[in-house]
């Protein structure tokens, strides 16, 4: 569905005094049916990449294709469900009319528009705010409106740029449920986010971008291969020092320790700890696997 | 799927009526109030001249508010991102919006005539003025439309060009003043606003062709820019 081939984008100021290389030789392929995450620090080139995919920007070099077509041609024929990073909707529109407007722009017949708008408002919990002007909405409600307008059309390509920005934990969880429901074999879902935990939960693969390059692609769901972990005991036991000689107490957290090692070493030590009569309350990686990969990728690409 | 946003037409019309339409209504009411207060004598002579004067004064403002920021506001404020991720062609979307402006301008003379009718009794619509104001919209509205596809200060630049043209036109018509070659060149490449002034003499065939081709050229150039220049160009993503 998405093909980026050696795409570069350089912003050049009016008098050519400044050049900013936002993308440098980006090559990526995302198939139908896939949920693909894009992670990267600020300025990594994520939004530039999405703008090129929607035909809002033209690459300086290389080419982008959506379902084999030029992005603009694909978008104007099929439409893309798109949530922008900063939700930009005219502030004087009211919430319900904004959704009807976007439904009309999506070319939905009136009766279909009514159903989709009602469903989107119900799904995103916006019905009680339907008559409010956009400028009266809180950050969270505005973000939910942004998601709602993206869900109106039944597009084969869905792009979410920072979808949970400003959402509370309840709506963050609901958004995850929405993405799960949106999955289908013919649909590609692209999610750009700073929230690595969210990407790890939602995406099949995550591309880590830094300095305009795709540093690596991580397949979600893989096992951890060791590293730093947190160990939480129900109560202190003398056997801890014996099993984990290198355990470091986490400041301000009762019975919580930082331990590290390979998976084999950790399993063997945990066995000894349990044998000494300890009750383990929790044991979890200090960083998620994606976070570990992210840190490594960003560090590798550093100056 | 259609790329012409026909289903969005009622929303565009609503926006236009709520903004530009209200201005037109306000001017019409003002005409009515002023006319009945000054008690013109004789009223039949006052009417046509009154309409012409009010059209001349207000058509500039109405064209500016009908076309000002037509594209640049959506680009500058980022609204285009949610609009054109849908199956909508930017040139056709803005052409539809620009044509609605032309439709509103066509109601200017009838609206003023209605106001005069209410104040003075039966008052006929001057259809030649309707044509003149449409040609004025074609030139100035087309110019602002074109500028708006590239720059944010579209209406201001359009107004400056219009005023500079007016000043050059005044100098040219003065027998004691000879316009330097450069300014003569500028005058000639500017849109022929002098031909579409409401008080100008009737247009000859070649003059009308000149106005129509110039205006159509401006609109086509605006559509070409919208077709070939990505909406996100000219700034950071």
The one-character DSSP state at B138 is I
HSE, CB side, 13 Å, CA atoms: give it for residue B201.
Answer: 3
Write the Ramachandran bin of A279: left for phi over 0, alpha for psi from -120 to 50, otherwise beta.
beta
Closest residue on chain B to A106 (Cα): B86
CB within 8 Å: A89 and B79: yes
Shortest Cα distance, chain B CAs vs residue A244, angstroms: 50
Shortest Cα distance, chain B CAs vs residue A225, angstroms: 37
pLDDT digits (tens, 9 = 90+) for B45-64: 556 676 777 777 788 888 99
Question: Which tops the pLDDT comparison, B197 or A118?
Answer: A118
pLDDT of residue A67: 93
- Alpha carbon distance B183, A95 (integer Å): 52
| B80 Cβ under 8 Å from any chain A Cβ | yes
- Alpha carbon distance A211, A109 (integer Å): 44
- Alpha carbon distance B232, B230 (integer Å): 5
CB within 8 Å: A51 and B5: no
Share of chain B above pLDDT 90, in %: 51
Shortest Cα distance, chain A CAs vs residue B71, angstroms: 14
pLDDT digits (tens, 9 = 90+) for B75-118: 999 999 999 999 999 999 999 999 999 998 998 888 877 877 77
| φ, ψ dihedrals at A159, nearest 5° | -125, 120
Q: pLDDT band at residue A222, thresholds of 50, 70 and 90? A: low
Q: What is the mean pLDDT of residues A33-62?
A: 92
CB within 8 Å: B81 and A82: yes
Q: How many cross-chain Cβ pairs, A to B, lie less than 8 Å apart?
A: 93
Q: pLDDT band at residue B8, thresholds of 50, 70 and 90? A: very high
ipTM for the whole complex: 0.85
Closest residue on chain B to A108 (Cα): B7
Contact list, B10 vs chain A (CB under 8 Å): 104
pLDDT digits (tens, 9 = 90+) for A285-297: 877 777 777 887 7
pLDDT of residue A18: 81
Shortest Cα distance, chain B CAs vs residue A106, angstroms: 5
| B7 Cβ under 8 Å from any chain A Cβ | yes
pLDDT of residue B237: 41
Share of chain B above pLDDT 70, in %: 89
Q: What is the mean pLDDT of residues A52-63?
A: 94
Query: Listing from the earlier edge strand, what are the strands of the sheet with A213-219?
Result: A81-83, A157-161, A188-192, A35-39, A205-210, A213-219
Question: What is the pTM assigned to this prediction?
Answer: 0.85
Q: DSSP letters of A185-214?
A: TT-EEEEE-S-HHHHHHH-SEEEEEETTEE
| B127 Cβ under 8 Å from any chain A Cβ | no
CB within 8 Å: A107 and B80: no
Closest residue on chain A to B89 (Cα): A76
Q: Helix-strand-coil percent breakdown of chain A, rounded to 5?
A: 35, 30, 35
Contact list, A20 vs chain B (CB under 8 Å): 236
- Alpha carbon distance A62, A21 (integer Å): 14
- Alpha carbon distance A44, A53 (integer Å): 16
Nearest to B110 by CA among B205, B24, B33: B24
Question: Which tops the pLDDT comparison, B169 or B233?
Answer: B169
CB within 8 Å: A75 and B78: no
Q: Which long-range contacts (CB under 8 A, 24 or more apart) does A260-263 make?
A: A260/A226, A260/A227, A260/A228, A260/A229, A261/A226, A262/A225, A262/A226, A263/A223, A263/A224, A263/A225, A263/A226
Q: What is the mean pLDDT of residues A268-272?
A: 91
Q: What is the mean pLDDT of residues A110-115?
A: 94
Asked if pLDDT for residue A3 goes beyond 60, the answer is yes
pLDDT of residue A124: 94
pLDDT digits (tens, 9 = 90+) for B125-167: 778 888 999 999 999 999 999 999 999 899 999 999 999 999 9
Structure tokens at A25: 């030789």
Structure tokens at A161: 């740029």
Contact list, A88 vs chain B (CB under 8 Å): 77-79, 81-82
| A88 vs B78, B87, B89: nearest CB | B78
Shortest Cα distance, chain A CAs vs residue B86, angstroms: 4
pLDDT digits (tens, 9 = 90+) for A82-103: 999 888 899 999 999 999 999 9
Radius of gyration (C-alpha) of chain B in whole angstroms? 20
| A82 vs B85, B87, B233: nearest CB | B85
pLDDT of residue B50: 67
| B4 Cβ under 8 Å from any chain A Cβ | no
CB within 8 Å: A75 and B85: yes
Q: pLDDT band at residue A225, thresholds of 50, 70 and 90? A: low
Mean pLDDT for all residues in chain B = 86
Q: What is the mean pLDDT of residues A268-287?
A: 88
- Give the position of tokens 């004064």: B57
């Amino acid at each position: 569905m998405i093909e980026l081939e050696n795409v570069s984008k350089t912003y050049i100021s009016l008098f050519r005094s400044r050049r900013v290389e936002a993308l440098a030789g980006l090559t990526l392929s995302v198939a139908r049916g896939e949920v693909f995450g894009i992670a990267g620090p600020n300025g990594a080139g994520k939004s530039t990449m999405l703008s090129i995919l929607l035909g809002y920007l033209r690459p300086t070099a290389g080419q982008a294709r959506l379902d084999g077509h030029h992005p603009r041609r694909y978008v104007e024929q099929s439409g893309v469900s798109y949530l922008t990073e900063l939700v930009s909707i005219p502030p004087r529109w009211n919430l319900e009319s904004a959704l009807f407007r976007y439904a009309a722009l999506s070319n939905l017949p009136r009766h279909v528009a009514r159903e989709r708008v009602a469903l989107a408002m119900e799904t995103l919990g916006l019905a009680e705010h339907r008559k409010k002007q956009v400028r009266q909405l809180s950050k969270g409600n505005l973000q939910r409106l942004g998601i709602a307008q993206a869900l109106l059309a039944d597009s084969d390509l869905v792009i979410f740029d920072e979808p949970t920005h400003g959402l509370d934990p309840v709506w963050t969880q609901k958004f995850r449920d929405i993405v799960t429901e949106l999955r289908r074999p013919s649909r590609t879902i692209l999610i750009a986010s700073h929230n690595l935990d969210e990407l790890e939960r939602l995406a099949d693969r995550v591309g880590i971008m830094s300095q305009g390059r795709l540093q690596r692609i991580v397949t979600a769901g893989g096992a951890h291969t060791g590293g730093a972990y947190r160990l939480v005991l129900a109560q202190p036991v003398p056997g801890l020092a014996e099993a984990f000689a290198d355990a470091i107490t986490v400041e301000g957290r009762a019975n919580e320790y930082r331990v590290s090692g390979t998976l084999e070493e950790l399993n063997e030590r945990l066995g000894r700890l349990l044998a000494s009569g300890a009750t383990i309350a929790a044991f979890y990686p200090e960083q998620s696997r994606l976070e570990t990969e992210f840190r490594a990728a960003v560090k590798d690409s550093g100056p | 799927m259609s790329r012409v946003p026909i289903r969005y037409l009622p929303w565009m019309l609503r926006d236009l009526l709520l903004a530009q339409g209200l201005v037109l209504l306000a001017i019409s009411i003002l005409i009515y109030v002023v006319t009945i207060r000054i008690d013109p004598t004789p009223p039949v002579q006052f009417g046509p001249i009154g309409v012409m004067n009010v059209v001349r004064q207000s058509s500039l403002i109405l064209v500016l508010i009908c076309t000002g920021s037509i594209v640049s506001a959506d680009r500058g404020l980022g609204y285009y991102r949610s609009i054109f991720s849908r199956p909508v062609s930017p040139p056709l979307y803005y052409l539809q919006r620009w044509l609605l402006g032309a439709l509103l301008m066509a109601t200017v003379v009838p609206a003023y005539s209605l106001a005069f009718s209410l104040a003075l009794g039966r008052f006929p619509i001057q259809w030649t003025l309707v044509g003149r104001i449409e040609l004025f919209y074609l030139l100035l509205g087309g110019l602002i439309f074109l500028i708006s596809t590239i720059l944010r200060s579209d209406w201001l630049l359009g107004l400056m060009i219009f005023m500079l043209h007016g000043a050059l036109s005044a100098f040219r018509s003065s027998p004691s003043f000879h316009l330097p070659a450069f300014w003569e060149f500028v005058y000639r490449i500017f849109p022929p606003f002098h031909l579409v002034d409401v008080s100008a003499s009737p247009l000859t065939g070649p003059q009308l062709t000149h106005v129509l081709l110039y205006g159509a050229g401006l609109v086509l150039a605006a559509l070409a820019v919208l077709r070939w220049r990505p909406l996100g160009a000219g700034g950071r993503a």
